[in-house]
């Protein structure tokens, strides 16, 4: 069975169960923290695959990475994954759960990439504009990438607006190449 199908089934079951228990928001926050841990500490995923660690130790790691005090739905779900030997799919399940939760709650995920750190007021204003334009809630993250030189790249869902200096320079370079050919 493929990872996408497995992660979707488990994520859907978790969302349904959390909604049934009224714990969906708490589970979502725990899953977001866990996903962040997978990205920021690559060895975290390796630790979960380590056969030397007992299921209890793996569970403790997961719960700690999820913020410590978690809902009963999330706690039971981790038990289910450990019991069914699906813990290696946890990162994919967490990502899929976030997608399902955002879809159900009409939350847009956006990323603003700039060459230098953006002032908090600019960040908040842009977030507010996006929310107003889309009529939904926006969860926005910020990334700093000096290679874009200046300007910004804004990604909202599957849409991407590249107003970076680096992309403008590439476009000019390509136009000059075409003229010289």
Q: Quick one: tokens of 58?
A: 């793996």
Shared domain check, 82 and 12: yes
3-state DSSP percent of the chain in helix, strand and coil, to 5? 65, 15, 20
Mean per-residue pLDDT, 26-34: 97
Total count of domains within the chain: 2
Shared domain check, 40 and 71: yes
Residue 1: the pLDDT is 58
Shared domain check, 87 and 155: no
pLDDT tens sequence across 42-63:
899 999 999 999 999 999 999 9
Shared domain check, 124 and 51: no
Asked whether the beta carbons of 151 and 116 are under 8 A apart, the reply is: no
Structural domain that includes position 25: 3-103
Q: Is residue 2 pLDDT above 90, yes or no?
A: no
Which residues have a Cβ under 8 Å from the Cβ of 178 and sit 6 or more positions away? none
Give, in degrees to the nearest 5, the angle at Cα 109 between 62 and 38.
25
Mean per-residue pLDDT, 65-77: 95
What CATH number is given to the structural domain containing 41?
A: 1.10.520.20
Shared domain check, 91 and 116: no
What's the pTM? 0.83
Shared domain check, 17 and 99: yes
Residue 117 DSSP class: P
Shared domain check, 86 and 17: yes
Q: Which of 3-7, 20-24, 71-75, 113-117 has the lowest mean pLDDT?
A: 3-7
Q: Is residue 3 pLDDT above 90, yes or no?
A: no
Shared domain check, 40 and 7: yes
Q: Is residue 104 pLDDT above 90, yes or no?
A: yes
**At which of 54, 81, 103 does a domain end?**
103
Tell me what percent of the residues of the chain surpass a pLDDT of 70. Answer: 99
Which residues have a Cβ under 8 Å from the Cβ of 54 and sit 6 or more positions away? none
How high does pLDDT run on average in the chain? 94
Mean per-residue pLDDT, 14-42: 97
Shared domain check, 162 and 132: yes
Shared domain check, 142 and 56: no
Shared domain check, 144 and 99: no
Mean per-residue pLDDT, 143-168: 94
């Amino acid at each position: 069975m493929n990872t996408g199908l497995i992660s979707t089934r488990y994520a859907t079951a978790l969302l349904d169960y959390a909604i049934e228990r009224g714990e969906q928001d708490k589970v979502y926050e725990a899953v977001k923290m866990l996903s962040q841990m997978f990205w920021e500490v690559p060895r975290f995923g390796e630790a979960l695959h380590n056969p030397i660690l007992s299921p209890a130790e793996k569970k403790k790691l997961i719960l700690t990475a999820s913020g410590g005090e978690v809902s009963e739905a999330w706690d039971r779900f981790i038990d289910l994954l450990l019991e069914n030997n699906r813990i290696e799919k946890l990162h994919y399940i967490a990502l899929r759960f976030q997608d399902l939760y955002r879809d159900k709650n009409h939350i847009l995920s956006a990323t603003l990439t700039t060459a230098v750190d953006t002032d908090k007021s600019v960040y908040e204003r842009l977030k507010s504009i996006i929310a107003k334009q889309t009529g939904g809630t926006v969860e926005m993250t910020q990334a700093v990438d000096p290679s874009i030189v200046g300007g910004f790249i804004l990604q909202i869902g599957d849409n991407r607006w590249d107003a970076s200096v680096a992309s403008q320079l590439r476009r000019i370079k390509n136009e000059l190449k075409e003229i010289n050919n």
